[in-house]
C-alpha cells in the first residue's frame, strides 16, 4: 500500500508540497480538494506534473464506498473498502440538527465483547488517521452532492457550508483507544480549521474502558465527548461479557471519568446495552443509580441489536422503558436511544461480518 495523504496535518502537507518543488499556496489548493472529498487525480486546480508526483507516493482514493444501504428511517450504512481490500463500515444518521456519522477506527477488534460483531474474527489492523478521516470526507462529499442536486430540483441554492456531516462518533468497528496515536492525529486533523473544522464538542469517542488511555486523552487538549461502554454494574458481571473488565475495574473507570471532567470540563457518558436476563432488571437499575448518582454524567441506554453469531437477546422494549424510568426517578440523566437502521444491520461490525460471510458462502458455492 502507498502512503495516505490524508494522514498529514496541514503543516505537513505544506512541507511535503515544498519538498516536491511546488509553491506554498499549492498546499492550500491540495487541502481544499481533499477536504471536498476529491481523489488526488480529480483536483483540477493542481498541475498534471504535481498530481503525478503525488500519485507516485500516495493512494489516489484510500477509502471507497463498496456498498450503501438506506434504512426505512433514513439512516444509511456504508461498507467501505480500504486500499488493501480490507473492509470497514460506517453509519450516517439524519437528525434535525444535521448528520451524525459513525466511523470505524480498526479493521476488526481485539477486545472480545461477547455481544459485538466487530470482534468476531479479532483485530486485523489499525486504521491510519487518514483512513478514519476519509470515511467522513467520502460520505460528506456524497451527501453534499445529493443536497445540491435536491436544492437545484427545488429551485433553491445549495448551502455554502462545506459540511454535510456535522457530528462524528467514534463508535464503528474497533476500539479507538487501542489505536491511540492514529485516533489522536485524526481528531487533530478533523477539527483543524484548514480541513473540515468540525468542533471537538460535536465529536464523541466511545471506549470499552482502557483506563490508562483515558488519562492520556484528558491531557491532549481536545475537548471531545467521552463515552464509556459500561453494560454492567459489577466487575463480576462485566467480566462475563467484556474481557477488558479483567484489566480495569469499574472503580478505576469512574475515577478516570472524573479526571476527564476535571481536566476538560466536559461531562461524560455511559453506554449501557440492555441484554435480556443479563443486566436489565430492577436490581441492576438500582445498582446503576448507586454507582452514578451525583456524577456529571449521562447514560445512553440501547437495546441490544441481535447479532446472528451471538446467543444474547435484547431486553423487551417495555422493560427497557421501565429501566429508563427507574434511572430517571433515581436522579440519573438518561435516554433510551432509538434503534436506528436496525433493518439494515445496525450494530457494530454486522455489515462487514455479513459481507464476509456472504462472500465466503459464495466462494464455497453455497449461493
Ligand atoms: N470499542 C468502542 C467503540 C465501538 S462499539 C466501545 O467499546 O465503546 C460502540 C458501542 O456499541 C459500544 O457501546 C458497544 O458496546 C455497542 N455495541 C456493540 N455491539 C452491540 C450490539 N450488538 N447491540 C448494541 N450495542 C452494541
| Residue 347, CB-side half-sphere exposure with 13 Å CA sphere | 21
Please give the pLDDT value at position 310.
79
Give the closest residue (by CA) to ligand 1 atom 20: 116
Please give the pLDDT value at position 156.
72
Taking the CA atoms of the chain, what radius of gyration do you get in angstroms? Answer: 21
CA of 230 to the centre of ligand 1 (A): 10
What is the CA angle 320-322-323, rounded to 5? Answer: 65
> 274, 285, 293, 283: which is closest to 333 by C-alpha?
293
Q: Is the CB of 302 under 6 A from ligand 1?
A: yes
Tell me the C-alpha distance between 199 and 212, whole Å. Answer: 25
Look up residue 323 and give its three cell numbers: 429501566
Look up residue 33 and give its three cell numbers: 480538494
All domains of the chain in start order, with CATH: 1-61 (1.10.150.530), 62-364 (3.20.20.70)
**pLDDT, tens digit only, all 367 positions of the chain:** 899 999 999 999 999 999 999 999 999 999 999 999 999 999 999 999 999 999 999 999 999 999 999 888 888 999 999 999 999 999 998 888 889 999 999 999 999 999 998 998 999 999 999 999 999 999 999 999 888 888 888 787 666 666 799 999 999 999 999 999 999 999 999 999 999 999 999 999 999 999 999 999 999 999 999 999 999 999 999 999 999 999 999 999 999 999 999 999 999 999 999 999 999 999 999 999 999 999 999 999 999 988 877 789 999 999 999 999 999 999 999 999 876 555 555 555 566 666 665 555 544 444 3
Q: Is the CB of 100 under 6 A from ligand 1?
A: no
Length of the chain: 367
pTM check: above 0.85: yes
Give the closest residue (by CA) to ligand 1 atom 4: 171
Please give the pLDDT value at position 74.
82
Look up residue 83 and give its three cell numbers: 486500499
Q: Is the CB of 275 under 6 A from ligand 1?
A: no
CA of 104 to the centre of ligand 1 (A): 11
124-to-66, 84, 275, 294 alpha-carbon distances in Å: 19, 12, 27, 40
Give the closest residue (by CA) to ligand 1 atom 15: 229
Please give the pLDDT value at position 53.
97
Which DSSP helix (H) or strand (E) runs through 218? helix 211-218
Please give the pLDDT value at position 367.
34
Give the closest residue (by CA) to ligand 1 atom 7: 208
- The answer to whether the CB of 315 falls within 8 A of the CB of 324 is no
Please give the pLDDT value at position 363.
45
Please give the pLDDT value at position 247.
98
Q: How far is CA 43 from the centre of its chain?
A: 27
Please give the pLDDT value at position 147.
84
Question: Residue 306 carries which DSSP code?
Answer: P
Q: Which residues contact 23 (CB under 8 A, 6 or more apart)?
A: 17
Q: Is the CB of 304 under 6 A from ligand 1?
A: yes
Question: Residue 275 carries which DSSP code?
Answer: B
CA of 111 to the centre of ligand 1 (A): 11
Question: Residue 365 carries which DSSP code?
Answer: T
Amino acid at each position: 500500500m502507498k502512503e495516505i495523504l490524508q494522514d498529514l496535518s496541514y503543516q505537513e502537507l505544506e512541507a511535503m508540497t515544498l519538498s516536491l518543488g511546488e509553491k506554498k499556496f499549492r498546499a492550500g489548493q491540495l487541502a481544499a480538494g481533499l477536504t471536498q472529498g476529491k481523489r488526488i487525480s480529480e483536483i483540477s486546480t493542481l498541475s498534471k506534473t504535481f498530481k503525478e508526483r503525488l500519485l507516485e507516493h500516495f493512494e489516489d482514493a484510500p477509502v471507497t464506498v463498496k456498498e450503501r444501504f438506506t434504512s426505512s428511517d433514513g439512516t444509511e450504512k456504508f461498507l467501505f473498502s480500504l486500499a488493501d481490500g480490507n473492509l470497514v463500515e460506517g453509519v450516517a444518521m439524519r437528525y434535525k440538527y444535521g448528520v451524525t456519522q459513525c466511523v470505524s477506527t480498526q479493521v476488526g477488534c481485539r477486545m472480545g465483547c461477547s455481544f459485538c460483531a466487530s470482534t468476531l474474527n479479532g483485530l486485523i489492523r489499525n486504521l491510519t488517521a487518514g483512513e478514519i478521516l476519509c470515511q467522513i470526507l467520502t460520505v460528506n462529499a456524497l451527501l453534499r452532492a445529493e443536497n445540491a442536486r435536491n436544492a437545484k430540483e427545488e429551485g433553491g441554492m445549495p448551502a455554502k457550508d462545506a459540511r454535510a456531516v456535522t457530528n462524528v462518533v467514534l463508535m464503528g468497528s474497533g476500539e479507538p483507544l487501542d489505536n491511540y496515536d492514529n485516533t489522536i492525529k485524526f481528531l487533530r486533523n478533523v477539527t483543524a480549521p484548514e480541513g473540515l473544522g468540525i468542533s471537538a464538542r460535536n465529536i464523541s469517542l466511545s471506549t470499552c474502558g482502557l483506563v490508562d488511555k483515558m488519562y492520556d486523552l484528558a491531557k491532549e487538549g481536545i475537548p471531545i465527548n467521552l463515552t464509556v461502554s459500561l453494560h454492567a454494574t459489577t466487575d463480576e458481571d462485566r467480566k462475563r461479557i467484556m474481557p477488558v473488565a479483567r484489566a480495569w475495574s469499574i472503580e478505576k473507570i469512574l475515577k478516570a471519568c472524573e479526571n476527564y471532567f476535571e481536566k476538560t470540563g466536559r461531562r461524560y457518558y455511559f453506554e449501557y446495552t440492555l441484554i435480556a436476563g443479563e443486566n436489565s432488571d430492577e436490581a441492576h437499575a438500582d445498582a446503576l443509580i448507586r454507582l452514578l448518582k451525583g456524577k456529571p454524567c449521562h447514560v445512553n441506554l440501547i437495546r441490544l441489536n441481535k447479532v446472528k453469531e451471538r446467543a444474547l437477546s435484547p431486553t423487551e422494549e417495555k422493560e427497557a422503558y421501565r429501566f429508563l424510568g427507574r434511572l430517571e426517578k433515581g436522579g440519573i440523566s438518561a435516554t433510551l436511544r432509538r434503534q436506528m437502521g436496525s433493518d439494515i444491520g445496525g450494530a457494530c461490525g454486522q455489515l462487514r461480518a455479513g459481507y464476509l460471510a456472504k462472500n465466503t458462502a459464495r466462494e464455497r458455492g453455497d449461493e
